[in-house]
Amino acid sequence: MFTLPESEGLQVLYGDYSVVMVLLSIVIACCASYTALSMNQRMQQNSFFHKSFWLVLASVAMGLGIWSMHFIGMSAFMLPVSMSYDLFLTIVSVFPAVFASYLAFYFANRKKKGHLPSIMAGLIMGVGISGMHYIGMAAMEMDVEYVYKPWILLASVVIAVVVSYVALFIFSTLQKYMGNQWIKVLTSVLMGLAITSMHYTGMAAVVFYTDNPIEHDLHGMHRMDMPLLVIVVTIGIFVLLAVSSLAGLLDRYVDYRLHHFDALTLLPNQRQFEQDLKNTRGTGSLAIIHLHDLEKWIGAYGYSFGDQVIKHAGDVLAGLKMNPSKIYRIEGNRFAVFHADERGSNVLKACMERVLAELKQPLLIDDYSVVIEMVCAVSHSDNSDRNRLLSNTMAVLQHSSIRYQHEVIEYDPSIHTYSFKKQIVQDIHLAIESNELFLVYQPKVWPETRNVTGVEALLRWDHPIHGLISPGVFIPMLEESGKIFEVTDWVIANVCRQVSRWLEEDVAFEQVSINIPGPYVTSSRLLSVLKEQLEKHEIDSRYIELEITETSVIHDIENAITAVGRFREMGLSVALDDFGTGLSSLSYLRKIPISTIKIDKTFVDGVPLSDKDSALLRAIITLCSSLKLKVVIEGVESQEQIDFIASIIETPHIQGYYFSPPLREGDFAHWLKERELVENV
């Protein structure tokens, strides 16, 4: 195998390479590596397909790439002999490449980063590429014999291992930057070079010889070209690329459908509604239909009954022939219709009256005839202030005079604003006593390891008349009336109780953040409430973080600095919330001893589509990380936003719907457990 036989008349044959085919083989290896890396990336993301699907597809792409590179590389080599391939060995040779790719990617994708997993991955990949090559060589059938030069053979394997290691090390450590096309292309080229350099070094280790003298005539040279094989290989690669791009497209589409549409009515959901409200310009009218007593019907006849009611309402609304308008299911029992009309709300109102008249008819479901009560609120906005449009419409629904009698009620500023505010402020005491207030917790996640680094406690109010009222609506009202202090004390007490329970149950929440309203930051009462609750529940202050807003700091900067200093002395963390939204001077940032900075959602929304927004977010993150503070980025909703953020800062803490919306205490513990299960698969 390694020594030339000693015989007279033995003739050593020298081959030649077709440059075009050599280049083609390099391109194929790099393309296959790129495809495989893209699929590896998919594994890291939320996907409709299981992780193993992408791992297998990536391994098949890589394995086929190595295999095709080899045979195209062989057809680039010209010798003055005729040759063919043993079909069985040719097919068998693809397996080491696929298996090695599978194992190598498995190691490279492990959460634990470092040299050892990369060494394992590089070693396996290098051996796989070499195994494929030498089985492929054994598949050759020709009139001449060959031996290997052992040192060059060994060098070819070492090259494959070392370059694979470098490529996989870059891949696994720079995984978070793979959104950056240049780094991905560089890694793919390195991987492609690992494959091709092994192959061509391996070819340099072969000495072809024959006992039957052959005329060295270039015209008579038989290229080792296998037109059929090249065609099969090329088709194979294209099929694989097509399958993987289709799977990627399907994945994105399923993700979009899941997140933006309601599964029951197939109408766009609340998320899509919020996005559309934000992105559409010009005047328009909004109608919200609220179905009353749905829980009562579900309690009496079951969930599928409730589903049929909703479906019926959705179908009637979908039958609306009114352009340009869009219908959404924004909550369990609420639908919204947005109608872009400059002339006012009359058209939408008339249309809603027709809808309600139809929905008023008794509904026969499973032999039960019921009449579902409902009400519809309509409002119109002459400018592009969409938030105002929504809050006005909601104010109608939340008004105390509301009756669910199939009425369409139009927003009237003299009725709907004032009395609602007054009622909210009055009701808050009762709300605390009768357990209408509760807290939800939104996790902050470190995307690289996907570990939870803390949660933010957010207040919810389930009002007996108005239903769930958004904190964006009731907190400013309580702030205005000074009632927010009592509510904050209630939040602190409840968070401390929850922390002590989670500690007992071993729930990995890390730290809970509490929102502290502006004027309360500098009050001595806050400090004593905090001390009292921490002692009462016997918890360490490191489990609590206070979120204060920029606006509250800037109004009373000297006292705010002193207050924050005291909190820090107590061992509490302090975060500056909604950073960048207030009209503030940056000079206080150096003076105030905060531990965390929270970048507001408004800076994230346009990223990465808008270049201006991306540049602004980049500048803000760079500024914050230069201050050596923990940086939390709020309102992150997509993988593209995470990739963008990860390309700027190494350790961002991400809070947003991408990882999770705010969850009730039990749902949060459940969410944590489910993640552990998925991570351990």
Contact window for Ca ion (CB under 5 A) among 44-52, 86-94, 533-541, 574-582: 574-582
CA Rg, the chain, in Å? 33
Asked if residue 389 lies in contact with residue 422, where contact means CB atoms within 8 angstroms, the answer is no
Partner that binds at residue 635, options ligand C2E, Ca ion, none, CB closer than 5 to 8 Å by kind: ligand C2E
Q: Could you tell me the smallest distance in angstroms from the CB atom of residue 390 to ligand C2E?
A: 13
> What tokens does 328 get?
């959404």
**471 touches ligand C2E by CB under 6 A:** yes
Torsional class of 635: left (φ above 0), alpha (ψ -120 to 50), beta (otherwise): left
Q: Could you tell me the smallest distance in angstroms from the CB atom of residue 113 to ligand C2E?
A: 27
**637 touches ligand C2E by CB under 6 A:** yes
Q: How many CA atoms lie within 13 A of 369 on its CB side?
A: 3
Partner that binds at residue 470, options ligand C2E, Ca ion, none, CB closer than 5 to 8 Å by kind: ligand C2E
One of 445, 475, 544, 617 touching ligand C2E (CB under 6 A): 475
**578 touches Ca ion by CB under 5 A:** yes
Q: At what angle do helices 471-481 and 418-433 cross, to 10 degrees?
A: 90
Cα distance from N-terminal residue to C-terminal residue, the chain: 45
Rounded CA separation 37/30 (Å): 10
Rounded CA separation 508/451 (Å): 9
**662 touches ligand C2E by CB under 6 A:** yes
Partner that binds at residue 646, options Ca ion, ligand C2E, none, CB closer than 5 to 8 Å by kind: none
Rounded CA separation 480/483 (Å): 8
One of 470, 559, 562, 651 touching ligand C2E (CB under 6 A): 470
DSSP-assigned beta bridge partners for residue 102: none
One of 491, 575, 624, 672 touching ligand C2E (CB under 6 A): 491
**635 touches ligand C2E by CB under 6 A:** yes
Binding mask 255-294 for Ca ion (x = CB under 5 A): ----------------------------------------
**496 touches ligand C2E by CB under 6 A:** no
Residues of this chain, 247-306, that bind ligand C2E according to CB under 6 A: 274
Partner that binds at residue 90, options ligand C2E, Ca ion, none, CB closer than 5 to 8 Å by kind: none
Per-residue b or e along 71-88, where b marks 16 or more CB atoms closer than 10 Å to that residue's CB: bbbbbbbbbbbebebeee
**387 touches ligand C2E by CB under 6 A:** no
# binding residues, Ca ion (CB under 5 A): 5
Whichever of 345 and 655 has its CB closer to Ca ion, that residue is 655
Q: At what angle do helices 94-108 and 19-44 cross, to 10 degrees?
A: 40
3-state secondary structure of 161: helix
Rounded CA separation 343/609 (Å): 33
Contact window for ligand C2E (CB under 6 A) among 410-418, 470-478, 552-560, 644-652: 470-478
Q: Could you tell me the smallest distance in angstroms from the CB atom of residue 376 to Ca ion?
A: 33
Residues 6+ apart with CB under 8 A from 30: 188, 189, 191, 192, 193
Where do contacts with ligand C2E occur on this chain (CB under 6 A)? 274, 442, 458-459, 470-472, 475, 484, 488, 491, 515, 517, 577-578, 601, 634-637, 655-657, 662
Where do contacts with Ca ion occur on this chain (CB under 5 A)? 515, 547, 577-578, 634
